[in-house]
Chain A
Amino acid sequence: MVTDQPLPRPLALLAEVTYRCPLQCPYCSNPLELAKYRDELDTETWVRVFRQAAELGVVQLHLSGGEPLVRRDILELVRAASEAGLYTNMSTGATVVDETRIKELRTAGLDHFQVSLLDTLPESNDRLAGTPSFEKKQAAVLAAKRLGFPVTLNVVLHRQNLDRIAEVIALAQQWRVDRLELAHTQYTGWAFRNRAALMPTRAQLDVAHREVERVRAEGTRGVDILHVLPDYYFEEFPKACLQGWGMVSMSVAPDGFVLPCQTAREIPGLEFPNVQEHSLEEIWDEAPVFRRFRGTDWLPEPCQSCERRDIDFGGCRCQAFLMTGDVSATDPVCRFSPNHYLVEEALQEANQAPPPLQYRVMSVSR
């Protein structure tokens, strides 16, 4: 990377403490071949990682998974992260937690509780999750609010729930959550496999978009709404994925491998360093996989000579690989990409009857 600026320190660390999960969401960002990755770091190693992260300059820690609450040592992990000075967020399906445990998490120093919801209709939520879970999620959200947590409700949007976006917002208001993340499906991991079943139609999107704008205009009644639009449809240019590869954030997988992005381990040919062999600082500064797409020197045409080069850095590496087979290609979402037709073809799928969903399971292989 040619620059006069020193390499910035990472602000965020995603710790996927386990891939185990009672839910089977068909858009999970975990790898398809989950059975290959059963090893998990022990408590002591995670604690060391959190301390190293704080020393490296990480501000926000995201404890995620899988389901982080299936780890028996989760309270110990939260306490260690908090004591290291990290702002500690947890993303959970909230199906294996009760009020006592939520209180213990609060006492241990957890700063922010994020709960996934798959749909506002209990039967649809439970069908998408592959297990009865709506009522547990509701109970957890209400308990977390009672205990004084800031709570975010995360709803991944797709063809099968998008028509209920008004109900999603109303439910978030009824539950008095602080934030609502309405994020359209990112087509990596399991979501790429299920793309044809998840891709909404243009008409669905237009209605949903208007609905969010209407609520915003009327006032959101205390709920901060974050609406992430689907890049296949709405963007002429790709998203600035990760705000630049290896520039702001890093992920540690359950088995200790460190990834610039949590879905990057599905890209063949990339070698990932492990926290059991190197410090986070060494990895951030030196690891070839972090340096490979850092900055803009590596960019192909049409990116290299594009005025948006320093805005989107060529887009998402995982998306480029999944769609074109070439990890160094311009993200096909870009209208200047020679592969942009692949996005247009994918959008055509939305006008056909959706194929059945393939649910996330541990045992499946390609």
Chain B
Amino acid sequence: MAMQRPVTTPIMAPGTRYRWDKVREQHQLVFPEGMIVLNEPSTAIVRLCDGRTTDEVVATLKQTYPGSEPTDDVYEFLQQLAERGLIREGALGD
């Protein structure tokens, strides 16, 4: 069964920030009192949460990684981030 799109337009919650940790050579998502380490695919998703829609995130990833089918992975990861309060719905009046 296809997953539901968790948010229309994912944007970072206030205080959530992507950073590259040059000491540990790691992608991180940092937020108040916490941090998660991101792998390459999740980093690519996080860096696209800049005001574009979830559909556009998926389309961009398909272009970047030809032959990939990223839709479910994107939905699942955005769902997890939303549950932890790290991203928000950025669509106005949606």
Q: Mark A28-67, 1 if CB is under 8 A from B, else 0.
A: 0000000000000000000000000001110110000000
A57 and B19 contacting across the interface, CB-CB below 8 Å: no
A56 and B23 contacting across the interface, CB-CB below 8 Å: yes
B19 and A85 contacting across the interface, CB-CB below 8 Å: yes
B14 and A55 contacting across the interface, CB-CB below 8 Å: no
Set of chain B residues within 8 Å of A272, measured between Cβ atoms: none
Set of chain A residues within 8 Å of B33, measured between Cβ atoms: 60, 89, 112, 152, 179, 226
Stretch of B24-32, B41-49, B55-63 that contacts chain A: B24-32
In the bound assembly, the distance between CA atoms of A59 and B14 in angstroms comes to 17
Closest residue of chain A to B35 (Cβ to Cβ) is: A59
B23 and A150 contacting across the interface, CB-CB below 8 Å: no
Q: A59-B30, A87-B30 are in contact. Are A178 and B23 (CB under 8 A)?
A: no
Set of chain A residues within 8 Å of B28, measured between Cβ atoms: 59
Determine if B82 is an interface residue (Cβ-Cβ < 8 Å).
no
Closest residue of chain B to A226 (Cβ to Cβ) is: B33
In the bound assembly, the distance between CA atoms of A89 and B33 in angstroms comes to 8
A112 and B24 contacting across the interface, CB-CB below 8 Å: no
In the bound assembly, the distance between CA atoms of A303 and B30 in angstroms comes to 34
Interface residues of A in 87-101 (CB under 8 A from B): 87, 89
Determine if A149 is an interface residue (Cβ-Cβ < 8 Å).
yes
B85 and A178 contacting across the interface, CB-CB below 8 Å: yes
A152 and B23 contacting across the interface, CB-CB below 8 Å: no
Residue in contact with A178 in the complex, picked from B17, B19, B30, B32, CB distance below 8 Å: B32
Which range holds the interface residue count of chain B? 10 to 19
Q: Mark A224-235, 1 if CB is under 8 A from B, else 0.
A: 101000000000
Determine if B13 is an interface residue (Cβ-Cβ < 8 Å).
yes
Set of chain B residues within 8 Å of A11, measured between Cβ atoms: 35
B17 and A111 contacting across the interface, CB-CB below 8 Å: yes
In the bound assembly, the distance between CA atoms of A114 and B15 in angstroms comes to 12
Would you give the shortest CB distance from A223 to chain B, in whole angstroms? 10
Q: Mark B80-94, 1 if CB is under 8 A from A, else 0.
A: 000001000000000
Set of chain B residues within 8 Å of A87, measured between Cβ atoms: 17, 19, 30, 35
Determine if A9 is an interface residue (Cβ-Cβ < 8 Å).
yes
In the bound assembly, the distance between CA atoms of A112 and B14 in angstroms comes to 9
Residue in contact with B14 in the complex, picked from A149, A224, A226, CB distance below 8 Å: A149
Set of chain B residues within 8 Å of A9, measured between Cβ atoms: 23-24
Which range holds the interface residue count of chain A? 20 to 34
Would you give the shortest CB distance from A356 to chain B, in whole angstroms? 34
A152 and B32 contacting across the interface, CB-CB below 8 Å: yes
Determine if A148 is an interface residue (Cβ-Cβ < 8 Å).
yes
Q: Mark A175-203, 1 if CB is under 8 A from B, else 0.
A: 00011000000000000000000000000
A112 and B21 contacting across the interface, CB-CB below 8 Å: no
B85 and A149 contacting across the interface, CB-CB below 8 Å: no
Would you give the shortest CB distance from B77 to chain A, in whole angstroms? 20
Would you give the shortest CB distance from A255 to chain B, in whole angstroms? 27
Closest residue of chain B to A8 (Cβ to Cβ) is: B24
In the bound assembly, the distance between CA atoms of A152 and B34 in angstroms comes to 13
Residue in contact with A89 in the complex, picked from B21, B24, B32, CB distance below 8 Å: B32
B35 and A178 contacting across the interface, CB-CB below 8 Å: no
Would you give the shortest CB distance from A84 to chain B, in whole angstroms? 12
Set of chain A residues within 8 Å of B30, measured between Cβ atoms: 59-60, 87, 111
In the bound assembly, the distance between CA atoms of A85 and B23 in angstroms comes to 12
In the bound assembly, the distance between CA atoms of A292 and B14 in angstroms comes to 39
15 A-B interface contacts by CB (under 8 A): A55-B23, A56-B23, A57-B21, A57-B23, A59-B30, A59-B35, A60-B33, A87-B30, A112-B32, A114-B32, A149-B14, A150-B13, A152-B32, A178-B14, A179-B33
Q: Please give the residue numbers on chain A whose beta carbons come within 8 Å of chain B beta carbons, in ascending order.
A: 9, 11, 55-57, 59-60, 85, 87, 89, 111-112, 114, 148-150, 152, 178-179, 224, 226
Pairs A-B, 8 closest by C-beta atoms = A150-B15, A57-B23, A112-B32, A150-B14, A87-B30, A112-B15, A150-B32, A148-B14
